[in-house]
Structure 1
Amino acid sequence: MNFEPERLGQSRSDLAEALRSLRKRAGKTQSWLARRCNMSQTRVSNMESGKLTPVIVDVELILEALGTDDPAASQILEMVRTANTEWQDHWSSRRRGLDKKQNELARIETVTTEFRFFLLSAITGLLATPDYVRASLAGTPGDQSKTIAKKLERQSVLHDSSKSFTFLLTEQAVRWPLLSPLAMAVQLDRLASVSRIPHVRLGVIPLAGHISEMPLSTFTLYDRRLATVETGTGVLVLRDHRDVNTYREDFERYESYAVFGDECRELLDEWSRVFTRQHQ
């Protein structure tokens, strides 16, 4: 399926109108549909008015209740997938203020219990030292002090024992020399330290041996309900369960190539010593 970023917002209203028209053509009331789908009449009303973006399960129940034929059902299901997709480009985020983006992430982290991070080319803010955070924002115009402070503040979520975290980093992500050698050694020592938190699994995928596939993007999974995929110009936010499950499956395959625990910390220590020697 092709996503057109400029159409994603409009697709929600298109979907609402399609669901409303479908019910009316079937000659059914919102109350009837709500009873058949085991949901509240308010939920049906909110979906038809565009106040609520339905998940695909909601729409599948509605299509079945109304006896919608295959061509029309397929079209509406594609609309649901698009409506559950959001594009956040970097330029808009910068105009709003990157510190506000950090607030949005903090809210997502508050309601999430299981996190999975696949880090292809860089270390994520939750694992970064202050120097690494500053360097990652160096090319962004304006005063980034608020954003840096909020990024570091968000790291406290790692100590919430009610949550679980799995971080997968490629060797490239770990060793990319964004900082001076000594500062990179400190960053790798932080990774090793975080890996000892009981509810955190931190693994590294070494550039050794044979890996039969090639990852294309950094992505994050929040429980089973949300996936974010990073590109060079923005972030794709996916809520359709098919998209989220696809990335969960990708994550599980990549996880099989990673090393964890003492073996991971031995690699981190080895690479840290390489940076230290470069400093001397």
Structure 2
Amino acid sequence: MTFDPESLGQSRSDLAETLRRERRRAGLTQTALGRRCNMSQTKVSNIEGGRITPTLVDVELILETLGASGPIATEILTLARSANTEWQGDWHSQRRGLDKKQNELARLEAVTSEFRFFLPTMITGLLATPDYVRASLSRNSGDMSKTVAKKLERQRILMNSSKFFTFLLTEQAVRWPLASPLVMTMQIDRLASVSRLPHVRLGVIPLGVVGPVVETPLSVFTVYDRRLVQVETNTGALILRDHRDVSAYREDFDRYTSYATFGDECRELLNEWSTFFTRQRE
């Protein structure tokens, strides 16, 4: 499905208004609709007031109860899908201050138990050394010191043994020369070190692997529990909350994982790539 980023913010209010209109057309009160859908009247009221975003399952159940079908059902389901999608443009984030984005990520990470990072292009901030972080932000104008500090502060979450992390990187992501050979050597050595944490699973997909990875476009994405997926693009990020989207990305992640190398074999590759950069310094 294609999303118009500018329309996503309006989708929740449009969905709320349309659902309210269809309920009234069906001659049902909020209480009666809630009883038939196994929802509380409060939840129905919050959905119709735009205070909460219903899942697609909620909306499908409401449509079935109301007997809605045809074009109106299609319209409502389209609105529901858009309402469960958020667009965070890079330009808007920069105007607000990139450190604010780091605060939002920290709050999300605090309530997440299982993380899945798919990294086909570069190393994520949670794994980055200070110099690598600074290099990754070099194209941004202005003072990035607050953003760098926030990114590094967020790394403390890796020490929380109650959370489980899986990082999946392509060889290209690890070896892309974002910074000097010295910085790259230190960065790859950090990956090897983090991979030894008992609640962290870090794998790499070497170049030359033949499989489904090369058959589909690769985007950076992170799955937070079964709650949401953040998919990064060249100009921003899509936040997908619909369970079908989350499940689809979890399935993609599992498929990519089957082509990755972990443990000692992974660390052997990391050591080989680190040595490559070390030799460039000689």
TM-score scaled by length of structure 1: 0.97
Tell me, yes or no, if the aligned pair for 1:126 and 1:155 is still in contact at 8 Å: yes
CA contact (8 A) 1:120 1:215 kept: no
Deviation at residue 218 of structure 1 after TM alignment: 0.6
| Alignment pair present for 1:44 and 2:39 | no
Indicate which of 238, 241, 250 corresponds to 2:240. Answer: 238
Q: How does 1:186-225 map to 2 (within 5 A)?
A: 186-212=186-212, 213-225=215-227
Amino acid at match of 1:227: V
Q: Which aligned pairs between 1:65-80 and structure 2 lie closer than 5 A?
A: 65-80=65-80
- Contact kept, 8 Å, 2:121 with 2:173, in 1: the verdict is yes
Cα offset, 1:216, TM superposition = 2.2
How far does the alpha carbon of each residue in 1:54-78 deviate from its partner, in whole angstroms, 9 at most, with x for none? 1112112212222222443232112
Aligned length: 280
For 1:269, give the aligned amino acid.
N
Q: Do residues 167 (structure 1) and 172 (structure 2) align? A: no
Q: Does 1:62 align with 2:42?
A: no
TM-score by length of 2: 0.96
Q: SS state of the match for residue 3, structure 2?
A: coil
1:177 is matched with: 177
1:103 Cα offset (Å): 0.3
Q: What is the CA–CA distance in structure 2 between the aligned matches of 1:59 and 1:211, rounded to whole Å?
A: 37
How far apart, CA to CA, are the structure 2 residues paired with 1:231 and 1:204?
A: 21
Match of 1:85 in 2: 85
Aligned residue identity for 1:100: K
Alignment partners' CA distance in 2, 1:209 and 1:48 = 49
Separation of aligned partners in 2, 1:18 and 1:55 = 15
On the 8 A contact 2:209/2:259 being kept in 1, the answer is: no
2:155 aligns with: 155
After the TM superposition, which segments of 4 or more aligned residues of structure 1 sit over 3 Å from their partners? none
Aligned amino acid, residue 244 of structure 1 = V
Cα deviation for residue 243 of structure 1 reads: 1.4
Identity of paired residues, percent? Answer: 72
Q: Give the C-alpha shift of residue 182 in structure 1.
A: 1.4
Which stretch shows the higher mean deviation, 124-133 or 50-59? Answer: 50-59
Gaps of 5+ in 1: none
The residue matched to 2:115 in structure 1 has which SS? strand
The one-letter code of the counterpart of 1:99 is D
Match of 1:95 in 2: 95
How is 1:234-273 mapped onto 2 (pairs within 5 angstroms)?
234-273=236-275
Q: Please give the secondary structure, in 2, of the residue aligned with 1:94.
A: helix
Render the CA deviation track for 1:84-141: whole Å, top value 9, x for unaligned.
1111110100000000000000011011111000001100000000000011111111
Q: Secondary structure at the match of 1:235?
A: strand
Query: 1:9: which partner in 2?
Result: 9
**Counterpart secondary structure, 2:161:** coil
1:27 Cα shift? 0.2
